[in-house]
Amino acid sequence: MGDLAIRVENLSKRYRIGQRERYLALRDVLARAISAPFRVFSSNSKPDGRNPRSDYIWALKDVSLEVKQGEVVGIIGRNGAGKTTLLKILARITRPTSGYAEVRGRVGSLLEVGTGFHPELTGRENIYLSGAVLGMTKREIDRKFDEIVDFAGVEKFIDTPVKHYSSGMYMRLAFAVAAHLEPEILLVDEVLAVGDADFQKKCLGKMEDVAKEGRTVLFVSHNMGMITSLCKRAILLEEGRLVTDGPASETVMSYYHRGGSSPHAVDFTRSGRPIGDHLATLLQAHIEDMDGNIVSEVDIRYPFKVKMRYRLHESVPEPPFPNFHFFDARGEYVFVSSSNNFTNGGTEPGIYEAECIVPGNLLNNGTYFIGLALTFTHRGIHVSFYEKDALAVNVKDPMEETLYELRSGYSGPIPGPVRPRLDWRIKKIS
């Protein structure tokens, strides 16, 4: 396979509908056997003893994929698209129904933090136990023990049963063990979704380290920001099929486009669940360029508008403040912008449209996520709704045009969440 770490060919996995939720009872089988011996006989002719006529669902269908050594690949898709199934097959937790996969190197799967922990055992004992479950040898754990304890910051409680740990300590220790696993191929599923912001940042840093060390990572997440920041490449699964495979930002965009509600124009009234409360609800929002076209991509040099429609349900003594929260692809706050006393809307019931112009030459190139909120201030601070990551916009830097205009001929990446064009003066002073 050359320098391939993972090769997957026409991989399919079939589940019986409901199989994941329901298990059988022997008494049911016996009851069926007594009532209809012939039916049971025929269904037993299948090697797995299940009725061949019942409904099946393909959790994964003909997925082919190649991952090079050292690549960090994101896997996105809706719930039930087959993301976790793919990881589980590669981790050998479950077997495919048909197809073939080849994995070269030691595989570590992080499908959950705290796998194998036992509450009655002490921190020390759990490090060994969980480490062994995750695939470390005793010698490896011996060697990394101090490092793990250090990373988790639980020195004082290392000989206390973990059932007495706070949930934060528990998580830190559990993650510390997992983080010190050194597989050549790491399969990660949403573990970063747990814990507080600090903890997530720590996890993120560790993932970046792993990627930098040249290991192969497959990373399933719903957090598009994390996908675009951690992975160069991403694949999109839809109903078990691989539909997009390409650069992470393009796959993320494709995910939104295919979802019907593309993230640059969202109709919130169709979600079935009204967003808001008795004072106001969020209706629609979109990104548009200065000519009034709804767009998903904007030029880094030109301003664009973020528009939001909301309905006021009752008249209020003071107008509310719409506010937009901008996050970069790593999930870091870039800025918050709000209307102010001079540009606020009305106080009467009705539909309002708020518009915010984001100037050109402010954001860097990349994907930005915009949270939409509406805040009332007449009786203390009251937030009617806050829809995080409601909109997404891709800021493009058309290099062929900006190379000399903005970049002085430099074609490499320019870091930072913003890239403002500032005034510079240079003069000769001696």
Partner 1 sequence: MEVRTFPETSLQTTGQRAAPIVITPPRGWLDLNLKELWEYRELLYFFVWRDIKVRYKQTIIGAGWAIIQPFFTMVVFSLFFGLLAKIPSEGLPYPIFYYSALLPWMYFANALNGATNTVIEHQRVITKVYFPRLILPLAAVLAGLGDFGIAFVILIGMMLFYGVVPTGAVLLLPFFLLLAVATALGAGLWLSALNAIYRDVRYAVPFLVQFWMFASPVAYPSSLIPERWRWLYGLNPMAGVIEGFRWALTGQGSPPNVLMFVSVAAVLLVLLGGIVYFRRMESTIADVV
* Positions in the binding site for partner 1 (CB under 8 A): 1, 15, 19-20, 23-27, 29, 48, 69, 88-107, 109, 111-112, 115-116, 118, 120-121, 125, 128-129, 132-135, 137-138, 161, 184, 213-215
**Least Cβ distance, residue 41 to partner 1 (angstroms):** 18
**Least Cβ distance, residue 25 to partner 1 (angstroms):** 5
**Least Cβ distance, residue 218 to partner 1 (angstroms):** 14
- Which residue, 53, 74, 87, 69, is CA-closest to 2? 69
Both ends of the chain: CA-CA distance in Å?
63
**Least Cβ distance, residue 220 to partner 1 (angstroms):** 13
Nearer of residues 64 and 94 to partner 1, judged by Cβ:
94
Nearer of residues 47 and 292 to partner 1, judged by Cβ:
47
DSSP 314-357: S--SS--EEEEEEE-TTS-EEEEEE--TTS---SSSEEEEEEEE
- H or E element: which one contains 275? strand 275-276
93 with 171: CB under 8 angstroms?
no
Nearer of residues 118 and 421 to partner 1, judged by Cβ:
118
**Least Cβ distance, residue 216 to partner 1 (angstroms):** 9
Residue 187's alpha-carbon distances to 31, 86, 134, 224, in angstroms, are 43, 10, 12, 17
Nearer of residues 23 and 424 to partner 1, judged by Cβ:
23
**Least Cβ distance, residue 178 to partner 1 (angstroms):** 11
Nearer of residues 137 and 377 to partner 1, judged by Cβ:
137
Nearer of residues 28 and 291 to partner 1, judged by Cβ:
28
Nearer of residues 127 and 374 to partner 1, judged by Cβ:
127
Nearer of residues 120 and 400 to partner 1, judged by Cβ:
120
Residue 378's alpha-carbon distances to 282, 316, 351, 396, in angstroms, are 19, 8, 19, 40
**Least Cβ distance, residue 103 to partner 1 (angstroms):** 5
Residues, the chain: 430
SS3 label, residue 57? strand
SS3 label, residue 221? coil
Structure tokens at 26: 């022997």
- The amino acid sitting at 10 is N
323 with 296: CB under 8 angstroms?
no
The CA-based angle 76-80-84, given to 5 degrees, is: 60
**Least Cβ distance, residue 75 to partner 1 (angstroms):** 17
Sign of the CA dihedral 31, 32, 38, 42? negative
**Least Cβ distance, residue 12 to partner 1 (angstroms):** 9
Nearer of residues 113 and 356 to partner 1, judged by Cβ:
113
Rounded to whole angstroms, the Cα distance separating 297 from 253 reads 10
